[in-house]
Structure 1
Amino acid sequence: MKGILDRFEGDKAVILIEEINEEFIIQKTELPSGSEQQTIFDLEKANDSYKILAIDASTTNAAAEKSANLMDRLRANSSGSKFIRNKK
């Protein structure tokens, strides 16, 4: 099962599990070293909670690259701002 680090709320980390439409919250200190927003984890369900097994580095890197490529294409297709600049 995969989860993605969505956001931080104070000293907590919110991890989304899209395949089952759930989220779980843990202390930041419980995250693996190197965790940041949009990091993808391999998870295991243990009783009524989840456990992070490891960072899925290849999936995290692929998702980041896909996002960067999409942003590059959007910027290339952009005709600039729709607002008119008033030069003084």
Structure 2
Amino acid sequence: MYTMKGILDRFEGNQAVILIEETKEELIVNKEVLPRGSMKNTIFNLKKESDGYTIVNIDLAQTKAAERKSSSLMDQLRAKNKGSKFKQ
């Protein structure tokens, strides 16, 4: 079984848009087929099939790592922007 990664990019109404970076494709599915706990930026393991893709599960390790990286970058940005450069 060949698996690849997809990231939940956004919701559009009752649909979820998952970006598959490896193939530069978008997978659009109904929200109901997403695994419990799915939210924006969740990373999925996807199975390639003849008629498209199936969500196998959430890649918890990569999702948590991406959250930590994002949080760290936000902390660095906040630390850089201590106050305004203009006099008050």
User: Same-fold call, TM > 0.5?
Assistant: yes
Match of 2:65 in 1: 62
Cα drift, residue 46 of structure 1: 1.2
Which of the pair has more CA radius of gyration? 1
Alpha-carbon distance in 2 for matches of 1:31, 1:83: 47
Where does structure 1 lack aligned partners over 5 or more consecutive residues?
A: none
Match of 1:29 in 2: 32
Alpha-carbon distance in 1 for matches of 2:23, 2:86: 42
Query: Is 1:71 paired with 2:74?
Result: yes
Aligned CA-pair RMSD: 1.5
Question: In the superposition, relative to structure 1, how do residues 83 and 40 fare at CA in structure 2: closer, same or farther (>3 Å)?
Answer: farther
Give the fraction of aligned pairs with identical amino acids, expressed as a percent.
59
TM-score, length of structure 2 as denominator length? 0.89
Q: 1:45 aligns with which of 41, 45, 48?
A: 48
Q: 2:21 aligns with which of 9, 18, 29?
A: 18
